[in-house]
Amino acid sequence: MGFHVQRPSFVFSACCIWRLRAPGATGFRAPRKILAEDEVIRPVHEYREGLRYMRSVPLVFAIALLSVGWATGGGAAQILFTLFGEDVFKRGASGIGIIWGCAGLGLLFGGIVANWLGKWLSFNGYKLVIFIDFVVHGTTYVLFSQAKEFRWALFFIFVSRAGMAINSVLNYSYLLRTVNNRYRGRVFATIETFTWTMMMVSMMGAGIASTHYDPRLIGTIAGLLSSTTAIFWGWANWTGRLPQPALAVAEQTEPEVHPDHAV
C-alpha cells in the first residue's frame, strides 16, 4: 500500500527533474568534451583533487562540516519519532504517523520560506540566517523532547524541521552557485557520504541508548548536538573565515570518455 500512496509523488518528482535544462544544453546533462583514455583523470586522483578544492573554498568546507555536525543529532531523530509516538505519548502507529506528518509539513514550509528568502538575502544575511536557524532547529527539538502535551510536541517538531529545511535549501543553493562545475559532483557526493555516514552512527547510537535511557533524554542530547553546530558556524563567520566565494564558471564542462577509447 505504501508504494501506491507514494507513487504519485515519485511521478511528480520525475517530471520536475525531466524538465530541468542546463544552460546551452539540449537536455538535462551539460555538454561534455570527449577525451581519449590517456587524457582521463584517474578516480583516486580525481577524488583527492575534489577534497583539495573543498578545503580551498572556506564556504564549501564549512557547509560540509555543518552537514556532518547536524547529522550527529539528526540521525537520532529517525529513531526517536517512533519511540515518542509509541512509548512517550502512547499514541501507537497513528502517533508515529502524525509526528512524521508534522515534520514533513515543516520541511515543506521551510522550503517555501527559503525560496522566498533566497531571492533577496545578501551573503552576510544568509550566514546570519543559517546561524539563527541552527539554534532554532536544535532548541525546538529539545522542546519537542520535553513537551508534556502531544500538540506542543507537534508544534515544536514542525518549527524544528522548518528551520532545517531553510538551512538545507539556502546551503545547497550557495553550493550550486559557487562550486565549479568540474568539482560539483565530487563535492556533493562527498558531503552526502560524510553526512549519511554520521547519520548511521547517530541512529545506531540512539538505538543502543534507547534500551538503557529515557527517550526524552536522548532527544535532548540529539537537539543539543545539532544546535551546537551553530557555534562553529558563528565563530567562523564572525572571525572572518567565511568570505564570499566567486560564482562558479557556468560554461565549464565535464570530460566524457569516448566509447571507442574506454578501458
Predicted confidence at residue 263, as pLDDT, reads 35
pLDDT tens sequence for the chain (263 residues): 444 445 667 888 888 877 777 666 555 555 556 655 555 556 777 778 888 999 999 999 999 999 999 999 999 988 899 999 999 999 999 999 999 999 999 999 999 999 999 989 999 999 999 999 999 999 999 999 999 999 999 999 999 999 999 999 999 999 999 998 888 888 999 999 999 999 999 999 999 999 999 999 999 999 999 888 899 999 999 999 999 998 775 444 444 444 443 33
Strands (E), the chain: 32-35, 254-257
Ramachandran sector of residue 16 (left: φ over 0; alpha: ψ -120 to 50; beta: rest): alpha
- The structural domains of the chain, ordered by start, are 46-238 (1.20.1250.20)
Cα(188)–Cα(244) distance, integer angstroms: 19
CB atoms within 10 A of CB 242: 20
Amino acid 191: pLDDT: 93
Sign, CA dihedral 14-196-191-102, equals positive
Contact present, 141 and 223 (Cβ < 8 Å): yes
pLDDT of residue 253: 47
Whether the predicted model's global pTM rises above the 0.75 cut: yes
